[in-house]
């Protein structure tokens, strides 16, 4: 395969076995990167993602971890370096939902979502920054959500975690900008993924009705934006939150 804009780079993508993560892992490989496919221990599809990446002529490793365990999340960085020889790009995409009205939400549902969707991203960023600072190069992309921008009833835990990612992105961008490390976020809206296919038709219709473009987005559309922010073309973009939501947050 001919060299791409990310040729020679190594990327870690969490939640890469399906949805936005899978599309991102493939897009980064198409752009030339070798990819660590982060996934849950019981993922039935991570191996096929890795096979698709190697089919593109890039290297891939599958790294299973429970992101609710901070030590396991942080270890993904060293495992990426051990498996692929370095780390240049981090995409913190993994996320879970435990929806419910705040008045009925359990402490466990609050803490689990915060642990996976926010705390894991922080410890991965912290670990990845050490090698990135040494080589004075890095690209960190955090996948937030329109829920973290405008809120969503029944998702106080998820919205808080995704809003936290935006604060993390902006603050970290200021800390490391002088070392040629950019930190950006994307905030997807209603995207066709496994998470949304389980919604009742009435809920899907109501969601689409709120979107000015009148449709759901695709995982590939989000992945393209992440790829751009990881590319040399975005070298002067940092601390930015790119909305990929069909105008929902406008």
Q: Catalytic site residues?
A: 158
Please list, residue by residue across 29-66, b when 16 or more beta carbons sit within 10 angstroms of its beta carbon and e when fewer do: bbbbbbbbbbbbeebeebeebbebbeebebbbbbbbbe
SS3 135: helix
The helix/strand/coil state of 23 is: helix
What are the residues facing 244 on neighbouring strands? 188
Helix (H, G, I), strand (E, B) or coil at 141: strand
DSSP, res 60? E
Rounded to the nearest angstrom, the gap between the alpha carbon of residue 234 and the centroid of all alpha carbons in its chain is 17
Taking alpha carbons only, the member of 150, 141, 159, 154 closest to residue 20 is 141
- Written as six digits, the tokens of 44 are 């039935």
DSSP string, 160-190: HHHHHHHHHHHHHHHHHGGGTEEEEEEEE-S
Residues 6+ apart with CB under 8 A from 114: 157, 160, 161, 164
């Amino acid at each position: 395969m001919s060299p791409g804009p990310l040729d020679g780079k190594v990327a870690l993508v969490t939640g890469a076995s399906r949805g936005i993560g899978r599309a991102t892992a493939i897009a980064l490989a198409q752009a030339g990167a070798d990819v660590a496919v982060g996934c849950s221990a019981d993922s039935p599809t991570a191996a096929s993602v890795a096979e698709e990446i190697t089919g593109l002529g890039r290297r891939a490793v599958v790294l299973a971890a429970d992101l609710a365990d901070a030590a396991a999340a942080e270890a993904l960085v060293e495992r990426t370096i051990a498996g692929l020889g370095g780390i240049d790009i981090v995409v913190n995409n993994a996320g879970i939902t435990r929806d419910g009205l705040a008045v009925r939400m359990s402490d466990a549902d609050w803490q689990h979502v915060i642990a996976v969707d926010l705390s894991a991203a922080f410890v991965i960023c912290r670990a990845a920054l050490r090698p990135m600072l040494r080589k004075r190069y890095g690209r960190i992309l955090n996948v937030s959500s329109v829920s973290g921008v405008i809120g969503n009833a029944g998702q106080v835990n998820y919205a808080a975690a995704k809003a936290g990612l935006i604060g993390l992105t902006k603050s970290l961008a200021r800390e490391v900008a002088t070392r040629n490390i950019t930190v950006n976020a994307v905030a997807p809206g209603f995207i066709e993924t496994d998470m949304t296919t389980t919604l009742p038709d009435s809920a899907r219709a109501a969601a689409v009705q709120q979107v000015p473009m009148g449709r759901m987005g695709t995982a590939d559309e989000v992945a393209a934006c992440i790829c751009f922010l990881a590319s040399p073309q975005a070298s002067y973009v940092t601390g930015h939150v790119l909305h990929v939501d069909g105008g929902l947050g406008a």
